């Protein structure tokens, strides 16, 4: 398996982890928080783990994005500009991470995540009701679409959560709508990174395909829950996922 030896039991376990990550990521983002450490613990080399994680996560994001789109929760026409900025940002971030030291961002990120979790927990904007936008679509697309796209290509943890909170706090989207609209942007960002990894020959194909199928199914179920439960589900899961990510980065950077 591309030089990576895994037992059948480990292969099945990692596939199940793909399902769980797809389910959680559809609700609150940050599925890589689950997948990447497990791949590394299973003995998959770091570059292969990053590449395999990106590949399988794309299919989970695609699954939830299509479900939200079919159910009318994504206005794809309004997303074109943000998606272009996210693509440009992801390319720049992926190139920059190969040249720059990400140590400073890695040190600061846990504290940013803790502040983000507190905001999600207490902000009245994190609800089932739309609120008054604080930023115009043009400003949001360039700054948030491009900026978080760059972060996604450069480092990545919590990208989906950052997008969801930005949509809710700056564009006034309710949490169901905010969660849905993160998916095209995350899909563009992760697909860009995935293509670069594929061209570099880093994907562990058999494992990546099995996990991608599991991600697809898990994400479909998770997105269905978001549609039916709204903020009552998304808000607490988002807080928990962000805090777990922050603790993970503090304790196991």
For the stretch 114-162, pLDDT in tens is 998 998 899 888 899 999 999 999 999 999 999 999 988 887 778 889 9
Q: Is residue 1 one of the residues assigned to a domain?
A: no
Domain annotation covers residue 3: no
pLDDT, tens digit, for every residue of 196-209? 889 988 899 999 99
Question: Rounded to an integer, what distance in angstroms lies between the CA atom of residue 241 and that of residue 24?
Answer: 9
User: Long-range contacts: 31-37, Cβ < 8 Å, 24+?
Assistant: 31/57, 31/60, 31/160, 31/215, 32/57, 32/156, 32/157, 33/157, 33/158, 33/241, 33/244, 33/245, 33/248, 35/211, 37/248, 37/252
Residue-wise pLDDT for 152-165, tens only, equals 888 777 888 999 99
Q: Indicate yes or no: pTM above 0.85.
A: yes
Specify the number of domains making up the chain.
1
- Is residue 40 a part of any domain in this protein? yes
* Residue at 57 is within a domain: yes
Neighbours of 80 (CB within 10 A): 11
- Percentage of residues in the chain having pLDDT higher than 70: 98
Q: Locate tokens 């095209």: which residue? A: 184
pLDDT in tens, 172-226: 999 999 999 999 999 999 898 899 889 988 899 999 999 999 999 999 999 999 9
* 66: containing domain: 8-251
Inside any domain, residue 15? yes
Backbone angles phi, psi at 158, to 5 degrees: 80, 10
How close are the terminal C-alpha atoms of the chain, in Å? 28
- Strand (E) or helix (H) holding 115: helix 103-122
Task: State mean pLDDT over 11-37.
Answer: 91
Give the pLDDT of residue 1: 46
Decide if 198 is inside a domain: yes
Whether residue 110 is contained in a domain is answered as: yes
- Assigned domain for 2 exists: no
């Amino acid at each position: 398996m591309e030089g990576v030896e895994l037992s059948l039991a480990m292969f099945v376990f990692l596939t199940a982890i793909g399902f769980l990550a797809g389910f959680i990521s559809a609700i609150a983002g940050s599925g890589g928080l689950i997948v990447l450490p497990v791949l590394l613990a299973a003995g998959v080399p770091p570059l292969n783990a990053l590449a395999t994680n990106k590949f399988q996560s794309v299919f989970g994001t695609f699954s939830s994005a299509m479900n939200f789109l079919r159910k009318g929760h994504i206005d794809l026409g309004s997303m074109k500009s943000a998606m272009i900025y996210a693509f440009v940002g992801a390319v720049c971030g992926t190139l920059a991470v190969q040249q720059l030291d990400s140590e400073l961002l890695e040190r600061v990120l846990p504290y940013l995540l803790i502040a983000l979790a507190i905001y999600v927990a207490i902000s009245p904007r994190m609800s089932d009701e739309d609120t008054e936008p604080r930023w115009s679509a043009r400003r949001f697309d360039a700054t948030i679409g491009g900026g978080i796209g760059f972060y996604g290509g450069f480092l990545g943890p919590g990208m989906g959560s950052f997008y969801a909170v930005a949509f809710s706090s700056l564009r006034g989207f309710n949490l169901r709508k905010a969660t849905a609209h993160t998916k095209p942007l995350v899909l563009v960002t992760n697909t860009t990174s995935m293509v670069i990894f594929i061209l570099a020959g880093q994907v562990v194909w058999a494992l990546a395909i099995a996990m991608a199928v599991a991600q697809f199914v898990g994400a479909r179920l998770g997105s269905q829950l978001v549609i039916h439960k709204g903020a009552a589900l998304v808000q607490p899961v988002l807080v928990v996922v962000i805090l777990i990510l922050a603790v993970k980065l503090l304790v196991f950077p």
